[in-house]
Chain A
Amino acid sequence: DTEVTQTPKHLVMGMTNKKSLKCEQHMGHRAMYWYKQKAKKPPELMFVYSYEKLSINESVPSRFSPECPNSSLLNLHLHALQPEDSALYLCASSQATGSYNEQFFGPGTRLTVL
């Protein structure tokens, strides 16, 4: 199974709402990533977890809160978002040892903030 799944596929939320994005993989990968992708732009790295510990936070605003409850799951908790946060949110995973580890991407969650 080389699949990364993400739920929901689409999400519409108001600026006062609290919502969560979920990501799951069963490839035994111990590195998991959150990216943000705006239309016609490349993915931008937000967070990296390695062995369930936050390893990289690319100066992401605190209204985005990541969580890695176990080696297969990655969540992104959203609170008090702004309309400019509307984007495709991509999850990815990779091996966490060795070199040149391929990142496998999920299909993304299309988020719209009203």
Chain B
Amino acid sequence: QQQVKQSPQSLIVQKGGIPIINCAYENTAFDYFPWYQQFPGKGPALLIAIRPDVSEKKEGRFTISFNKSAKQFSLHIMDSQPGDSATYFCAARGGTFSGGYNKLIFGAGTRLAVHP
């Protein structure tokens, strides 16, 4: 129940295409769903995040779609560029802590390659 399942494992698109990465979870106690982008040799960086009371969120070319009843959420990258080539991790915040800090549970990651 503490897992976040992410697919596909890898994805290749042409420049301008719209890659879609999907994640699913079981634990209804999860209350915050961030997406992280990681380039080789770098730490993950927050890309966009959503709460389960919102069905869609857009930031620039990145959109999260959230289906609470299906316990699924996905990342869409509009007009993808070669510079978007990276590994993308979905995550869910698990549990509640009095300290206010987050315990993130990450999906397995998707390696995206955008070809020119």
Chain A residues with CB under 8 Å of chain B are 4, 31, 33, 40-45, 48, 50-51, 55-56, 90, 92, 94-108
Contacts and interface: CB of A to CB of B under 8 A. Distances in A.
Contacts of B102: 31, 94, 101, 103
Prevailing SS type, chain B contact patch:
loop
Interface of B: 32, 34, 36, 41-46, 49, 51, 89, 93, 97, 99-104, 106-109, 111
Contact of A43 (B41, B44, B97): B44
B101 A55 contact: yes
Given A50-B101, A96-B99, A41 B43 contact: no
Contacts, number: 71
Nearest to A58: B103
Prevailing SS type, chain A contact patch:
loop
B89 A42 contact: yes
